Structure 1
Amino acid sequence: MIGHRGAPAYRPEHTRASFELAVDQGADLIEPDVVLSRDGVLVVRHENELSLSTDVAEHPEFAGRRTTKVVDGLVCTGWFTEDFTHAELRTLRAVERMPELRPLNTAYDGRYGVLTLAEVVELARCRSTAERPVQVLAELKHPEYFAEVGMPMGALVAEELRRLGADGADGTVVVQAFDPGVLRDLRGRLGEDGPRLVQLVHDLPVGDAMVTPSGLREISTYAQGIAPSRERVLASGAEHGPGGGHLVAQAHAADLTVFCWTLRAENAFLPRHLRRGTAPEGLGDAVGDALALLALEVDGLISDSPDQAVRARTALTAQLV
Structure 2
Amino acid sequence: MVKNFPGTPPIIIAHRGASGYRPEHTLAAYELAIALGCDYVEPDLVSTKDGVLIARHENEISETTNVADRPEFAHLQTTKIIDGESKTGWFTEDFTLAELKTLRAKERIPQLRQQNTAYDGLLEIPTLQEIIDLVKIRSTQSNRTIGIYPETKHPTYFQSIGLSLEEPLLATLQANDYQGANAPVFIQSFEVSNLQYLSTKTDLPLVQLINAGGQPYDFVVNGNVRTYADLITTSGLAAIRKYAQAIGVHKNLLIPRDNTNKLLSPTSLVTDAHAVSLLVHVWTFRNEDIFLPLDFQGNPQGEYDLFFSLGIDGVFSDYPDTVKKSKNR
TM-score, normalization by structure 2:
0.87
The correspondence for 2:236, drawn from 215, 223, 226, is 215
> What residue number does 1:302 align with?
316
Aligned counterparts of 2:143 and 2:172: Cα–Cα separation in 1: 27
1:79 matches 2:100: no
* Residues 187 and 53 of structure 1: CA distance in aligned 2, closer, same or farther (over 3 Å): same
> What residue number does 1:202 align with?
211
Aligned counterparts of 2:51 and 2:210: Cα–Cα separation in 1: 27
> What residue number does 1:264 align with?
286
Aligned counterparts of 1:148 and 1:56: Cα–Cα separation in 2: 25
Deviation at 1:286, TM superposition (A): 1.1
Q: SS of the residue aligned with 1:258? A: strand
Aligned counterparts of 2:63 and 2:194: Cα–Cα separation in 1: 26
Aligned counterparts of 2:139 and 2:172: Cα–Cα separation in 1: 20
Are 2:255 and 2:266, in contact at CA under 8 Å, matched by a contact in 1?
no
Aligned counterparts of 1:167 and 1:139: Cα–Cα separation in 2: 17
> What residue number does 1:278 align with?
none
Which digits, 9 at most, give the CA deviation of each residue in 1:160-181, with x for residues without a partner? 2222222433423210011111
Deviation at 1:267, TM superposition (A): 1.1
Are 2:17 and 2:32, in contact at CA under 8 Å, matched by a contact in 1?
yes
1:29-108 mapped onto 2 (5 Å cutoff):
29-108=40-119
> What residue number does 1:148 align with?
160
Query: Which residue type is aligned with residue 147 of structure 1?
Result: Q
Q: SS of the residue aligned with 2:45? A: strand
Which digits, 9 at most, give the CA deviation of each residue in 1:227-270, with x for residues without a partner? 111111113995467xxxx1111111111111100011111111
Q: SS of the residue aligned with 1:261? A: strand
> What residue number does 1:247 align with?
269
Gap runs ≥5 in structure 1: 276-283
Aligned counterparts of 2:190 and 2:50: Cα–Cα separation in 1: 24
Query: Which residue type is aligned with residue 164 of structure 1?
Result: N
Aligned counterparts of 1:167 and 1:183: Cα–Cα separation in 2: 17
Are 1:121 and 1:173, in contact at CA under 8 Å, matched by a contact in 2?
no
Q: SS of the residue aligned with 1:208? A: helix
> What residue number does 1:177 align with?
189
Are 2:273 and 2:279, in contact at CA under 8 Å, matched by a contact in 1?
yes
* Residues 271 and 240 of structure 1: CA distance in aligned 2, closer, same or farther (over 3 Å): closer
Aligned counterparts of 2:237 and 2:144: Cα–Cα separation in 1: 30
> What residue number does 1:138 align with?
150
Instruction: Name whichever of 161-170 and 26-35 sits farther off.
Output: 161-170
Aligned counterparts of 1:173 and 1:101: Cα–Cα separation in 2: 31
Are 2:249 and 2:281, in contact at CA under 8 Å, matched by a contact in 1?
yes
* Residues 286 and 187 of structure 1: CA distance in aligned 2, closer, same or farther (over 3 Å): same
Aligned counterparts of 1:227 and 1:178: Cα–Cα separation in 2: 9
Aligned counterparts of 1:235 and 1:60: Cα–Cα separation in 2: 46
1:288 matches 2:310: no
Instruction: Name whichever of 144-153 and 126-135 sits farther off.
Output: 126-135
Deviation at 1:156, TM superposition (A): 2.5
Which digits, 9 at most, give the CA deviation of each residue in 1:101-136, with x for residues without a partner? 000100011111000111111111111158521000
Q: SS of the residue aligned with 1:182? A: helix
Deviation at 1:210, TM superposition (A): 1.0
1:164 matches 2:176: yes
Which digits, 9 at most, give the CA deviation of each residue in 1:179-226, with x for residues without a partner? 111111111122xxx211111001114211111111111111111000
Which digits, 9 at most, give the CA deviation of each residue in 1:63-90, with x for residues without a partner? 1000000100111000000000111111
Are 2:104 and 2:125, in contact at CA under 8 Å, matched by a contact in 1?
yes
- Point out the structure with the larger helix share: 1
Query: Which residue type is aligned with residue 251 of structure 1?
Result: A
Are 1:153 and 1:182, in contact at CA under 8 Å, matched by a contact in 2?
no
Deviation at 1:46, TM superposition (A): 0.3
